[in-house]
Amino acid sequence: MAEIVSSAEDLPLIPDNLTVPQFILDYHHPCRPLRRHDIPWFIDGQTGNKVGLEELRARTYGLANGLKIKYAIILIHSPNHIDYPVAMWAVHRLGGIISGANASFTTDELVYHVNMVKPTILISHPDCVHIAYLAARAAGIDASRILVFDDRGSCTPGVTTVQSLITLGLASPPGFIERRLIPGGGKTKVAFVNLSSGTTGKPKAIAISHYTPIATSVQVAFHLRVNDDKVPWEERRFRPGDVASAGRFLCDLLPIYHIFGLAYNLHFMLFCGMTLVLINKFNLVNLLRTIEKFRITHLPLVPPQIVLICKYPKVREYDLSSVRFIKTGAAPLASETMNQVAPLFPGAHIEQGYGTTEASTIALCPLETKTDLSGSSGVLLPGISARVERPDGSLADWGELGELVIKSPALALGYTNDSEAHKETFSDGWYRTGDEVRLLKTGHLFEILKVKGFQVSPAELEGCILEHPDTMDTCVVGVPDEYSGELPMAFVVLNPQTAVRVREDPRVAAEVKQSIIQYVASKKAAHKRLAGGIEFIDAIPKAPTGKLLRRVLRDRARKERAKL
């Protein structure tokens, strides 16, 4: 039966009496490699300024001393910024809670977020501070409670900046006592309140403890043998001095406010002794230039960004040879897309991963796997127990499709504003992901459709569709069929030129659909063909990190078919 029970004894000690900044800035763990003093922690992608440990500690202390607000909720409404981690850690030193908001939110969306978490202070960025002021006014927050990150002198005159508070705090006598946790306190004290993606209704506030990013760092480091002397240096995936990118790309590439950026790309990579290049204003060309300029070794990406890289005609004009590792998550990546991107990054290992806001990182490829073309999202991390359930609650067989239910040290505390959703999702230490997967005895996870008893990977079909010259983006879902069980249906975003042709002549739409269907049929077995049809769409709905909101389109497709 599809159930894996992991022993907590397999994991090294996960400290449960530390706050996040105490773990990252002040504590050495056996799984943590030593970082040389000359290796910066952050590089400002705009200015090239480097920030090391002592400066981070000083700025964190200065901001905490300048704020002097205990047990408050601080909302950060900003793209990634060099002082974003400083603000988080300063608030944690004071015993407060951080809630990160999408920098691209509209006023109404930010008002909803503000009303959900009820922050005491709002920290914004010059690029989006006008939205922050409008949302604050609508939510009844005084403008004096808005702080602004500095961005090379672009702040509005008269506003209070984060830098001014740091300067004030460093020049003032100590005015706060850092929060200390009792044993076990890290598991119960809230560090972050993140909002879910809202795929099944309004976004829900998710309470995340200090223990979650700490546990994730230890789980991933142990899984990948980051500090294992038995692993040769050249085979280690994460090494002190490696350089990773973290910045704004489309709707934010791995933003810090999202669990992928927060737990994996920020805290875990810093735990490994790596340098993060933080970039505020980001686009595809800027990404490629950044790789060249800073000799980026690690690229955490999501599938839509990888697709854009593959389709960019001038990508080979850039020197991408420094990239050693590409990590993709938030949605399955097709082997076809992997095969397209691999030659663009010669020598780079490519792996997929799987996680959720409620559980952080759940699965990653093992160290021994260099590039996995199977379509797997990796294997379960140490310390995670999992089972796959049929709709009636019984355990599925190995390889059988069902809902993934897990137990993990890194689980969130739950939903803070929806008791019914909390009861449905969290029960007796288990978390229902809502994702349909199949689980192998090896611990490998796959997201699968089932057609005539055959398993079909949506990511595999998506990769094939994206090879067609008329397509720019796509999402494949399963729609019910009395004969086959499910049929693959594709939502497709056309490239601009084809979209114009379709608008000008409706007959072209049928021709393009048939062309895509025939192309897939020529490449795939009969049960993998797009028998559920194709629907053109202006944009594929995605979470802030680029995760395909597959359930949204699946529900839409099923409602439309029900009308027929």
At 544 the pLDDT is: 56
- Cα 208 to the chain's mean position, in Å? 15
Per-residue pLDDT tens over the stretch 511-535: 999 999 999 988 887 778 898 899 9
Q: Is the pTM of this model over 0.85?
A: no
What is residue 558's three-state secondary structure?
A: helix
At 26 the pLDDT is: 95
Segments in 355-437 forming alpha helices (H)? 419-425
What's the CA gap between 466 and 471, in Å, rounded? 6
Question: Do the Cβ atoms of 63 and 90 come closer than 8 Å?
Answer: yes
Integer-rounded Cα Rg, in Å, for the chain is 23
| Regions of the chain with pLDDT less than 70 | 7-9, 151-158, 197-202, 246-254, 280-282, 304, 330-335, 372-375, 447-455, 482-485, 543-547, 563-564
Cβ count within 10 A of residue 61: 22
Share of the chain above pLDDT 90, in %: 41
Question: Do the Cβ atoms of 431 and 422 come closer than 8 Å?
Answer: no
The secondary structure element, H or E, covering residue 437 is strand 430-439
At 406 the pLDDT is: 93
At 200 the pLDDT is: 46
Cβ count within 10 A of residue 40: 21
Strand order in 414-415's β-sheet?
160-161, 146-148, 121-124, 73-77, 97-101, 190-195, 205-209, 414-415
What's the CA gap between 355 and 260, in Å, rounded? 8
Per-residue pLDDT tens over the stretch 352-369: 888 888 888 888 887 777
Question: Is 454-563 CATH 3.40.50.1980?
Answer: no
From the list 59, 343, 408, 399, the residue with the least C-alpha distance to 213 is 408
Strands (E), 9-144: 42-44, 50-51, 73-77, 97-101, 121-124
Q: Which residues of 509-542 are buried (b: 16+ CB within 10 A; e: fewer)?
A: beebbeebbebbeebbeebbbbbbebebbeebbb
At 172 the pLDDT is: 93
What's the CA gap between 321 and 330, in Å, rounded? 25
At 281 the pLDDT is: 62
Per-residue pLDDT tens over the stretch 299-316: 888 776 787 888 888 989
- Cα 507 to the chain's mean position, in Å? 40
What's the CA gap between 304 and 312, in Å, rounded? 12
At 372 the pLDDT is: 65
Q: Where exactly are the structural domains of the chain? A: 454-563
Q: How many CA atoms lie within 13 A of 324 on its CB side?
A: 13
Mean pLDDT of the chain, nearest integer: 85
At 301 the pLDDT is: 80
Per-residue pLDDT tens over the stretch 398-433: 888 788 899 999 999 999 877 888 888 898 889 988
